[in-house]
Structure 1
Amino acid sequence: MKTATANIDLNALAHNLSVIKYKAENSKVLAVLKANAYGHGLARIAKALSQYKVQADAFGVARIDEALELRSEGVSKPIVLLEGFFSELDLPVLAVNNLQTVVHNREQLNAILDAELTEPLKIWLKVDTGMHRLGVNAEEFDEFYHALNQSENVHKDIIIMSHFSCADDLTSERTNAQLRVFSSITKSLPNEKTLANSAAICAWPESHYDWIRPGLMLYGVSPMQNADRDDLAIQPVMNLQSSVIAIRQIKKNEAVGYGAAWVAKEDTTIGVIAIGYGDGYPRHAQNGTPVLLNGRIVPLVGRVSMDMITVDLGNSCQDKIGDIATLWGQGLPVEEVAKHSTTIPYELLCNITRRVHMGIL
């Protein structure tokens, strides 16, 4: 028997990157590796995406420590800090390690203009087109752009970027509105531009521009609302599995687990699987959450414990102790588990804990 294991399918990763490139063949790829590459292993994923026949052109991370970890692991491709830097003390570190940074506020602008650097920085200037989270206001854009363009601390090939708020929802008018704002601000500029996240790569080809920024889609998860994931032709990269460690006969009206949260409606068989919220399996997964076991879906029953879950195997099951259950992955998309857990796939992937063994397929 084995305990919780997240097997990472690098062939699926390569396949997904090829699908992404096919959808936006004229754009370069900034692969988003935030949060330990969405739980898949930061250095592992970066190295794989640097070695395929079709490769990522650059990597996006959230924090400087993620970027420095990649450099320490020998990753030489461009790395972009998607939230920018948090202190002027970071700027010499960026210059020495050839790290690129997003600029989205005046404090960052002033720090760059006032810095004494040995090498100029590559800048991605973020403009707020309607997300209203990060980015300079449209009215400030020209000021920021010209100040950076004239600074000796900045490479002249500034990349201009923004971020969609509703690209996954084809019924929303906000994406078209953001496209119009971005075009009006940047259409007269020769700089490279980037706007498309995973959802926009799939559904908004007019947003592809010079760079695309796949995240969720790269890991084989659908970024779209109310869409058939099979149409996207992507494959799950993470396969989260664990073993059945006990099988018990349960009588009608007997309860299972903490709080007696599930009561058998008939005589049945319960399987206990060695995974729980201590491994990152969602604590709030509801009764009926699907688990894949021996080629069929069995429902979660009872509350998720720290180290175990229970599933209803039915009256005539042939399952045995030691059988391997898939919690999500090939044959059971993480999106389905998220729907039953009142959360989103991002959270499930990123919440995998240290005690889960990471394997490579």
Structure 2
Amino acid sequence: MPRDNQRPDQTGTTEQILTNARLVLPDEVIVGHLVIRDGLIAEIGTGGSDAPGALDLDGDMLIPGLIELHTDNLERHMTPRPGVHWPHAAAIAAHDAELAGCGIATVFDAVRVGSIVSGQSKGYRKYAREVTDEIIALRAAGLLKISHRLHVRAETCSETLLEELAEFGPDDRIGIVSLMDHTPGQRQFRDESKFKAYLQGKHGYTDQEFADYSAYLKGLYDRIGAQHEAGAVAAAARFGARLASHDDTTTAQVETSAGHGITMAEFPTTVEAARACHANNIAVIMGAPNIVRGGSHSGNVSAAELAQADLLDILSSDYVPASLLLAATQLADLWGDLPRAIATVTANPARASGLTDRGRLLPGLRADLTRYRPLQGVPTHRGTWVAGTRVA
């Protein structure tokens, strides 16, 4: 049966019409209407539609459904407090519903692969394969609201990376493999005091426990870090996944990334690294919370600074799903260009991840849509459609 304002046309196909909307197209904003037919955008036109059953959007903004390439939100639902492990199916469902309610139509769920199992760590237990199986099962049962893919975060400074990667294959719908190196003293944690504050705040490490753990990680990376990096690059090729780097700091690190075939750089920590990324045709991803907060919580480069230097291509909500749309609208104010800003959370992540069927309001593409209304500088979410079906 058709749902909401869907109606069968004379050929039996299902049609919806959304009218009186401000449509954010790739290069302009128009007041008009959009027709959805069988889950795809069928038509876009200026002016209103008086067709029976058309849904009046009351002048709200209508943009492509948001695309999230890297979010730690699922882990937050699985471990809502240190040492508290929530049932995975319930956590996945809550995560899914939260993203839908923030206008996100496609997510690459970030799962960490590579654990510390020798007792040296308080927080690096293995979980990725188990959670992936549960995501696949929920998706197959039609119980998820939005489109889920996987982003494998390959922790090169770990004990079990290669063994865990071997548990995955091309059928797992892994779209992105990112090379993560959280060895103290470099990249995100080149200031070790930030790493210490993070571990003590999240896991309650004492000063001596931190010193011992930090020394262990440095020794571990020296022994097997290069082997793990090469193994992760090979695994991405086996999965058919795009490669991303993480927390590049120097030009040399970016040149290494380019040599691996990396096409996305998550959260470069310096202007130098971001410039090197663009010189090597690597898309720069920055955190939406960095835009909203006005800076990095780790003391790294400001995303707004990169945006002003034309060095920001994609936003990721990282650890706050609701930040994605909010940061995009703030970028629109900074750039004076709403279509360009919306592209950082729609068209650009679609292109970078190889999703050619979504991310723009164009006939023939998936009807993944987000409706919002600006209210006192804040984009208030008003609806999400995934392949033509309203899910929030």
Q: TM-score range by the shorter chain?
A: 0.3 to 0.5
Q: Which structure has the larger Rg over C-alpha atoms?
A: 1
Q: TM-score, normalised by structure 1?
A: 0.36
Q: Which has the higher helix share?
A: 2
TM-score, structure 2 normalization = 0.33
